[in-house]
Structure 1
Amino acid sequence: METQAMARARRWLADQGVSQVRDGWLSTEVPDVLLTAGQVAHSWAGDVFAEDVQATDQVRLAFGLLDLLDEYWVTCEIRFANKSAEGPLPADVLWDGYRQRLEAARDAEALTYSLWVDWFEDRDTAATAFAEVLGNDIDQVVAEPSEALLRRARRVLECSGPVPWPVKEPTYRTSVRLPALHPALFKGLRASYHDVYGDLEPAAALALLDQLDLPAGTQHLAELRRVLVEGHKNHYRSPRAWDDAIRSCS
């Protein structure tokens, strides 16, 4: 079902001469060429932030375009605008846009990928981004775990590997209190070890891992526990440790 934000984005694209057809998109600039959603995002998403409207309206329009196209590149343009000379973007509208979509039932891969590789891998933005999309709300999630809040928490935990350990550990510790978050927290801990920019403290991570109630046969649980017991902080710092753990646990 098309939302108001998507409808506004569709009208804005129409003003740019871009319209959706059965198998893609058409532009009046090249009427004989069928465009993909990705091509539309790369060609027009940045223009949203050149519109002569308030920054809050620019951000809302950009998120509507993200909803309509479902393309990661739209999130790139949002971040570029935030870091531009005219930035930063209004934080309340920016992060509310992320939170709302992380809570929605529809697929959120573009958003979680954006958090992972852009906001969370950047040490200048990781703490703020993690706090805004989950850290500030984790007590509410645990106390009043609605489906929407759980959906957001799971998605953020799973892609939180690059977030600095001191930033995410308090949220991880609070998440342990809610068994419904244990599988997502396990994925977060595993990513904290395996991601190129993953960050964890082995002893603290092991203490959390040992509190998780996970299904029998959870893949890589034994291997992760072994490397943490041995004090390894990251797969790429000790590339043979994981292979050794696999052989030991098989």
Structure 2
Amino acid sequence: MERQAVEAARRWLADQGVRQVRDGWVSDENPDVLLTADQVAHSWAGDVFAEDLDAADQLRLAFGLLDLLDEYWVTCEIRFANEDAEGPLPSDVLWDGYRRRLEADREVEAVTYSLWVDWFEDHTTSATAFAEVLGNDIDRVVAKPSEALLRRARLVLECSGPVPWTVKEPTYRTAARLPALHTALFRGLRAGFHDVYGDLEPAAALALLDQLDLPTNTRHLAGLRHVLAAGHKNHYRSPGAWDDAVRSCS
């Protein structure tokens, strides 16, 4: 959590008449009604982008609000602002904001969920988003794997199932050179098969899977190897394939 950004967001909410109390949030307009962080996000996060600030400062304020509230809806408002008539938002600030939060030593479920269901599932944004949060840096991650870089790489790999195979395969192959990323890479491959919008090429994915140093009792490892060897690309394109694999491997 970036303290300055959080405090700026807290001051901004106070200017809107919204303040944090012991069990949630209250507004000056209805001080007897306790609000959740999600309700605050839905009611006020979008207003950040109407502030008399340049787009970069609006975006920084929105990220501070995300840190403060820890709600996925704030990321939705960021995405909306990026796509509206005044957008796009400054890409350097946008992706630096994502990278910093992925590297932070705390839970960032709102951030990874945003990447997964918004940026990665949309094929008009998946290539850019994946490159910005990991693909452009993977050589540096493997060569000089700090804890922060490893944390970011693991989180991105684990939610990268919807990213097109041609986009993520080079990054996957580089990540496979670093054993510390093997479990996350396995989870990314598994998600590529199971996600509704997951994408992989069975033969290439199997070859990559066979390079990973994983415990032999890794849950779903045998099943994933079985479906890939049979040429299945996606759970939803091959109904029953996973159940068959589980029965065969049990």
TM over 0.5: yes
Instruction: Identify the residue that residue 29 of structure 2 maps to in structure 1.
Output: 29
Alignment of 1:2-13 (within 5 A): 3-13=3-13
CA contact (8 A) 2:162 2:198 kept: yes
Match of 1:19, SS state, is: strand
1:72 aligns with 2:72: yes
Match of 1:124, SS state, is: coil
Larger deviation: 28-37 or 181-190? Answer: 28-37
How far residue 81 of structure 1 moved from its aligned partner, in angstroms, is 0.2
Instruction: Identify the residue that residue 84 of structure 1 maps to in structure 2.
Output: 84
Alignment of 1:52-67 (within 5 A): 52-67=52-67
Q: Letter of the 2:225 partner, please give it.
A: R
Q: Letter of the 1:191 partner, please give it.
A: A
Deviations 1:130-188 (A, max 9, x none): 00000000000000000000000000000000000000000000000000000000000
Q: Hey, what's the Cα distance between the residues in 2 that align with 1:216 and 1:113? A: 29
CA contact (8 A) 2:2 2:64 kept: no
Q: Hey, what's the Cα distance between the residues in 2 that align with 1:226 and 1:18? A: 54
Alignment of 1:98-137 (within 5 A): 98-137=98-137
Instruction: Identify the residue that residue 199 of structure 1 maps to in structure 2.
Output: 199
What are structure 2's unaligned runs of at least 5 residues?
none
How far residue 45 of structure 1 moved from its aligned partner, in angstroms, is 0.2
Match of 1:33, SS state, is: coil
Instruction: Identify the residue that residue 141 of structure 2 maps to in structure 1.
Output: 141
How far residue 2 of structure 1 moved from its aligned partner, in angstroms, is 6.7
Q: Letter of the 1:9 partner, please give it.
A: A
1:48 aligns with 2:51: no
Deviations 1:45-81 (A, max 9, x none): 0000000101000000000000000000000000000
Q: Letter of the 1:236 partner, please give it.
A: Y
Q: Letter of the 2:102 partner, please give it.
A: L
How far residue 31 of structure 1 moved from its aligned partner, in angstroms, is 1.1
Q: Hey, what's the Cα distance between the residues in 2 that align with 1:60 and 1:174? A: 32
Match of 2:20, SS state, is: strand
TM-score (norm 1): 0.99
After TM superposition, where is structure 1 displaced by more than 4 Å over at least 4 residues in a row? none
Distance 1:42 1:208, change over 3 A: same
Alignment of 1:176-215 (within 5 A): 176-215=176-215
Q: Hey, what's the Cα distance between the residues in 2 that align with 1:205 and 1:242? A: 16
Instruction: Identify the residue that residue 166 of structure 1 maps to in structure 2.
Output: 166
Q: Letter of the 1:138 partner, please give it.
A: I
Q: Letter of the 2:240 partner, please give it.
A: R
Q: Hey, what's the Cα distance between the residues in 2 that align with 1:135 and 1:44? A: 33
Q: Hey, what's the Cα distance between the residues in 2 that align with 1:193 and 1:25? A: 41
Q: Hey, what's the Cα distance between the residues in 2 that align with 1:216 and 1:42? A: 45
Q: Hey, what's the Cα distance between the residues in 2 that align with 1:221 and 1:57? A: 45
Q: Report the number of matched residues.
A: 250
Q: Letter of the 1:153 partner, please give it.
A: A
Match of 2:213, SS state, is: coil
Q: Hey, what's the Cα distance between the residues in 1 that align with 2:2 and 2:59? A: 18
Instruction: Identify the residue that residue 219 of structure 1 maps to in structure 2.
Output: 219
Distance 1:2 1:145, change over 3 A: closer
Q: Hey, what's the Cα distance between the residues in 1 that align with 2:109 and 2:16? A: 27
Taking every aligned residue pair, what percent have the same amino acid on both sides? 83
